[in-house]
Amino acid sequence: MNKTKEIWIAGFALFSLFFGAGNLILPTSLGVKAGPDWWIVVLGFILTAIVIPILAIFAHARLQGTLYDFGKKVSPLFSTIYCFLIYIIAVAIPSPRTAAVTHEIAIQPFFNSSALLTSVIYFVLVFVFAVNRSKVISLIGEFLTPIIVTILLVIIGIAFFTSPGSVTPSEFKHPFVDGLLEGYQTFDAIAGVILGAVIIISLNLRGHTTFDAKKELITKAGVIAGGGLLLIYGGLIFSGSLFSSTFAENASRIEILSSLSSQTLGNLGSTFLSVLVALACFTTAIGIVTGTADYVRGLCNNSNIAYTITAAVCAVIGIVVGSNDVGFIIDIAVPALMFVYPITIVLILLNIVPEKYASKLVFRAVVIVTFIFSIPDFLGFIIPRENLVGIKSMIPFAEHSLGWVLPALVVFVGLNLKKI
């Protein structure tokens, strides 16, 4: 295959694997709340939903291993536990969420069927795609992504030219921080560390064995995916802002997205949205299940049986959790994200800085400090927040659930002061 074409296919595939339909819902509703501050929200949102995830792809291009390699400098035990947590969270939350979104937007409005039935059919198809592992990137990159991108660009373009011109005031006191934290909900940083490994293995299966060639292909594919995500995420936030005055005050995220599609695409809006949601959800679920099964296969001496069993277990978990409503799944995700996201971010960043600034000591110190200072953020979603006021008042940025940022930065700079 032509090299340039392969880079674009890989980039398109990465875009779709990142862009689950949950990520279609989040920026649109975020734009509604942002109002005229939409551009500030975009700056925060893209940091955690695009920049960090694409840096994870660049780190994979450099490491060309598995998720385990991201944390092995801390310690083998830490990296094993970290991998276990990441894959459990991915399989138990974002993957099932794609089925729940598909049911509520693409199935429920047209068919009087249960969420459980949708979830069963959905994850049976995900399993079928996952066991046909070698064809995943081509199928997604060549066929599914162009359809997804076309529908999204049509919605954004029409929204730009047909907006009512009345924008509601921003609901955010700190739009940049709110955008940044909402970017957590995309799961894209976690997706980055999982999907980068999927791309590596896919390239190996397609006959790419040269380290430098794979590094170039993965890096360029990451740039393409990042550019696509910036265009679509920014466009959806902007579209939500432009139409903010047209939505009911207490409209749910899904109601906002459905209304936007109807206002931009007319009577065909629901049909196009159903196709878009089904495809966007499906590609993400395939990526998560495939990535998890790949990792377990690697632990079991490349056993295909282990791969198939893991994919089946992932599908069963998806069926059970995915039969719940989207709001419930998003709500239970927040504590898990506040626990694992800061550590994921620092591991990504440490794996892209020059080797001389990322010794084992630096890895260990920064990760430990990040973990300690993110505990109040995690606990804030489990116990009453007033119980943590005293602790959070002593930590810079803790009131914004970013108490780990400054301590981690100070430790990193302090340990590298002589080298800088």
- Mean pLDDT across 24-40: 87
Quote the CA–CA distance of 20 and 187 in Å, as a whole number. 9
Contact call for residues 75 and 86 (beta carbons, < 8 A): no
**Mean pLDDT across the chain:** 84
Residue that the structure tokens 């804030």 belong to: 380
Cα dist from 42 to 46, 51, 311, 411, whole Å = 6, 12, 35, 29
Quote the CA–CA distance of 404 and 396 in Å, as a whole number. 9
Alpha helices in 35-75 (DSSP H): 38-46, 52-63, 68-71
Quote the CA–CA distance of 369 and 388 in Å, as a whole number. 19
The identity of residue 42, as a single letter, is V
Quote the CA–CA distance of 279 and 201 in Å, as a whole number. 23
At residue 385 the predicted structure's pLDDT band, cuts being 50, 70 and 90, is low
Structure tokens at 162: 């047909």
Structure tokens at 207: 């006959």
Contact call for residues 275 and 105 (beta carbons, < 8 A): no
Q: What is the structure's pLDDT at 28? A: 86
Closest by Cα among 12, 13, 55, 50 to 236: 50
Cα dist from 35 to 47, 115, 127, 168, 231, whole Å = 20, 33, 41, 5, 19
Highest mean pLDDT among 19-33, 60-74, 123-137, 355-369: 355-369
First to last CA, the chain: 44
**Phi–psi pair at 350, nearest 5 degrees:** -65, -30
Q: What is the DSSP letter of 135?
A: G
- Mean pLDDT across 111-137: 86
- Mean pLDDT across 214-232: 89
Closest by Cα among 297, 341, 336, 293 to 317: 293
Quote the CA–CA distance of 38 and 150 in Å, as a whole number. 23
Quote the CA–CA distance of 417 and 357 in Å, as a whole number. 10
Structure tokens at 256: 């906002």
- The DSSP string of 319-338 is HHHHTS-HHHHHHHHHHHHH
Q: What is the DSSP letter of 383?
A: S
SS percent in the chain: helix, strand, coil, step 5: 80, 0, 20
CA angle 271, 269, 319 (to 5 degrees): 45
Q: What is the DSSP letter of 376?
A: H
Quote the CA–CA distance of 377 and 401 in Å, as a whole number. 5
Cα dist from 359 to 74, 351, 354, 355, whole Å = 9, 10, 10, 7
Count of positions (residues) in the chain: 420
Q: What is the pTM assigned to this prediction?
A: 0.85
Q: What is the structure's pLDDT at 134? A: 67
Q: Give yes or no for residue 192 having a pLDDT over 80.
A: yes
**Phi–psi pair at 50, nearest 5 degrees:** -130, -55
pLDDT in tens, 59-107: 988 988 888 899 999 999 999 999 998 898 888 888 888 888 888 888 8
Q: What is the structure's pLDDT at 410? A: 93
Cα dist from 196 to 11, 151, 348, 419, whole Å = 11, 26, 12, 30
Q: Give yes or no for residue 23 having a pLDDT over 70.
A: no
- Mean pLDDT across 8-28: 76
pLDDT in tens, 387-412: 666 676 777 777 777 888 899 999 99
Q: Which has the higher per-residue pLDDT, 386 or 375?
A: 375
Lowest-confidence pick of 132-146, 204-218, 263-277, 280-294? 132-146
Structure tokens at 135: 């064809």
Q: Give yes or no for residue 372 having a pLDDT over 80.
A: yes
